[in-house]
Structures are given as structure tokens and as C-alpha cells.
């Protein structure tokens, strides 16, 4: 039985998705390898979240193949596969007044709230503290989620994803709702994480080039459910590619290892 590229962390080949008779994605193909840090970009409604659903083993294709961590979607226990993937979503629907440590521990249980009658082992608590320390929250172990800033919450969610030592880290528009200072602190956290764990593979979804970490190595640009370009970030993020994807003249700039974009004035 073919499993695709044996060296790939993630591989989509000729993926199509239809819902209610409407094409959502068409002929999406790309391959992610160990240690690569991908950005997934495109305008609103382009299909970014749908592609991320395949990466997170949440969605089955209508046609084509999806291999995640060496397993073929449709031929694997999805629950077991998802436990190997860390997912950071700023729209985390937590309602209870949990502490930062407890929020991270929900990564161990794979739940939003802490399960009733579940007591973490001492080594699990230690791992949660270590994960919080790694994202710069060493003095916020007992901070209440309801009183934490959006930036602190974002970093706590990275810790929640990391506590299970994931083989693939997904970040779904992680800087949503952050002010400029908090965004920069968050991106610094992501870049520091890469320096500590260079083998960790990640995919970050955004539609703002300014929100790309310096450590980004590759990019996938999609528009209207189709791939516009995919490959090394310096080859993909061009004025021509981004203008075509967003259907508007946009100038792409790069200062050091940070990206920017602005509309071209006529």
C-alpha cells in the first residue's frame, strides 16, 4: 500500500473537496518535511482553514490523498493521529476560570475543559510548568485564564500544544486580536521555540505577511481553493504571486527576515 513520500511529515496530492455540490478545494498538492516552518497564506475565503483541517487530520478529501505523519487519512485511527499534532487556535472556547497550568494540562487530556475526576500526575504538572517556562510564562503558572492578556493566552496555547511533544505544530491565525506589541512578543516566542527545537515542523495560517515569524522557511499561497504557489518562502512571496492571489496590486517587501505588503497606489 502506497504511503506517499516516506520522508514527508505531511503530503497532500491532488486533493479536492466538495461540500453541498460546491468545490471548496481543487487539485491542492504540497509536501512538508521535518524541520520546515510553513506559512499558509491567502485572502479570506481562500480555503486556508480547510487545508489546515487536512493537516490536523480533521477532514477527509473528496478526491486525492492526504498523508499526515506517515499515515493515510481514511486508513488510520484519527483520534490516535491527532494526539501527535499540536494545534494553536486563538479562538480557544474555554469557559471555566482555569489557571495557566490547568489550561496547558488540557493538552494532555485533549479536551477544552479539565475532565471531571481527573487528577494529573506530578510529572504531567512538571511538564506543563516546563512548557509555560519555554514560552516566557514562568511567572504566570497560576494566572487565571480570564485575567490573562490576549498575548499571554496565545503563548499559553503554544505551551498547551507543546506539552504532548507533538511531531507537527499547527498555528491557526495565532496573532488574531493582538496589538502590535503583543504580536511581536508572540512572534519572538515562535522564533525562540524554533531555535530550541529545530526539528519541530510547523504550519502557520495567516493573511498578513507582517505576521510571519522570521523562522518561516516555506510558504503555500492559495486563492479561491487553488494553489497559486508553493515552495521556499523567498521564491513564493513575490509581488506577482501575492497580487494574483489577492486579486489586487500589492507590493511585497522584505526587511531583514521580516515581510511586509502594501497596496500599489495608481
Tens-place pLDDT, residues 86-130: 999 888 888 888 999 999 999 998 888 998 889 999 999 999 999
pLDDT in tens, 25-63: 999 999 999 999 999 999 998 999 999 999 999 999 999
Mean pLDDT of 182-204: 92
Tell me, what's the pLDDT at 266?
66
Is residue 151 scored above 80 in pLDDT?
A: yes
Is residue 244 scored above 50 in pLDDT?
A: yes
Q: With pLDDT > 70 as the criterion, what percentage of the chain qualifies? A: 97
- Would you list the DSSP string of 103-114? HHHHHHHTSSSP
Tell me how far apart the alpha carbons of residues 20 and 142 are, in angstroms, rounded to a whole number. 46
Is residue 2 scored above 70 in pLDDT?
A: no
Tell me how far apart the alpha carbons of residues 46 and 61 are, in angstroms, rounded to a whole number. 16
Categorize the per-residue pLDDT at 6 as very low, low, confident or very high, splitting at 50, 70 and 90.
low
Tell me, what's the pLDDT at 84?
92
Is residue 7 scored above 80 in pLDDT?
A: no
Is residue 1 scored above 60 in pLDDT?
A: no
Mean pLDDT of 176-204: 91
Mean pLDDT of 62-83: 93
Domain borders along the chain are 1-84+168-266, 94-166
* Nearby residues of 203 by Cβ (< 8 Å), 6 or more positions away: 10, 32, 37, 38, 39, 40, 52, 55, 168, 169, 170, 171
Categorize the per-residue pLDDT at 240 as very low, low, confident or very high, splitting at 50, 70 and 90.
very high
Is residue 189 scored above 50 in pLDDT?
A: yes
Report the chain's terminal Cα–Cα distance, integer Å.
55
Q: Which of 30, 14, 97 is nearest to 63 (CA)?
A: 14
Tell me how far apart the alpha carbons of residues 181 and 124 are, in angstroms, rounded to a whole number. 32
Tell me, what's the pLDDT at 218?
98
CATH class of 1-84+168-266: alpha beta
Residues counted in the chain: 266
Is residue 236 scored above 70 in pLDDT?
A: yes
> 206-232 burial by CB neighbour count: b if 16+ within 10 A, else e?
bbebebbbebbbbbbbbbbbebbbbee
Q: Is-contact 222 46, C-beta < 8 A? A: yes
Per the structure block, which three cell numbers stand in for 32? Answer: 512538508
Q: Locate cell 501575492: which residue?
A: 242
Average pLDDT, the chain: 92
Tell me, what's the pLDDT at 176?
86
Amino acid at each position: 500500500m502506497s504511503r506517499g513520500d516516506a520522508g514527508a511529515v505531511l503530503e497532500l496530492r491532488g486533493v479536492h473537496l466538495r461540500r453541498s455540490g460546491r468545490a471548496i478545494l481543487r487539485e491542492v498538492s504540497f509536501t512538508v518535511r521535518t524541520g520546515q516552518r510553513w506559512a499558509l497564506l491567502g485572502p479570506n475565503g481562500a480555503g486556508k482553514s480547510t487545508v489546515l483541517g487536512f493537516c490536523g487530520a480533521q477532514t477527509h478529501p473528496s478526491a486525492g490523498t492526504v498523508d499526515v505523519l506517515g499515515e493515510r487519512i481514511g486508513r488510520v485511527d484519527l483520534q490516535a493521529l491527532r494526539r501527535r499534532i499540536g494545534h494553536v487556535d486563538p479562538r480557544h472556547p474555554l469557559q471555566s476560570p482555569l489557571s495557566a497550568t490547568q489550561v496547558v494540562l488540557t493538552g494532555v487530556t485533549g479536551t477544552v475543559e479539565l475532565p471531571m475526576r481527573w487528577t494529573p500526575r506530578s510529572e504531567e504538572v512538571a511538564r506543563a510548568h516546563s512548557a509555560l517556562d519555554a514560552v516566557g510564562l514562568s511567572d504566570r503558572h497560576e494566572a487565571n485564564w480570564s485575567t490573562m492578556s490576549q498575548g499571554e493566552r496565545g503563548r499559553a496555547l503554544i505551551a498547551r500544544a507543546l506539552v504532548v511533544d507533538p511531531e507537527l505544530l499547527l498555528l491557526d491565525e495565532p496573532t488574531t486580536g493582538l496589538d502590535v506589541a503583543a504580536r511581536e512578543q508572540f512572534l519572538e516566542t515562535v522564533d525562540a521555540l524554533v531555535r530550541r527545537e529545530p526539528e519541530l515542523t510547523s504550519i502557520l495560517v495567516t493573511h498578513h505577511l507582517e505576521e510571519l515569524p522570521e523562522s518561516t522557511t516555506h510558504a503555500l499561497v492559495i486563492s479561491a481553493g487553488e494553489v497559486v504557489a508553493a515552495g521556499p518562502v523567498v521564491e513564493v512571496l513575490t509581488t506577482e504571486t501575492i497580487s494574483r492571489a489577492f486579486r489586487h496590486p500589492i507590493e511585497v517587501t522584505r526587511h531583514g527576515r521580516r515581510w511586509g505588503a502594501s497596496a500599489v497606489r495608481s
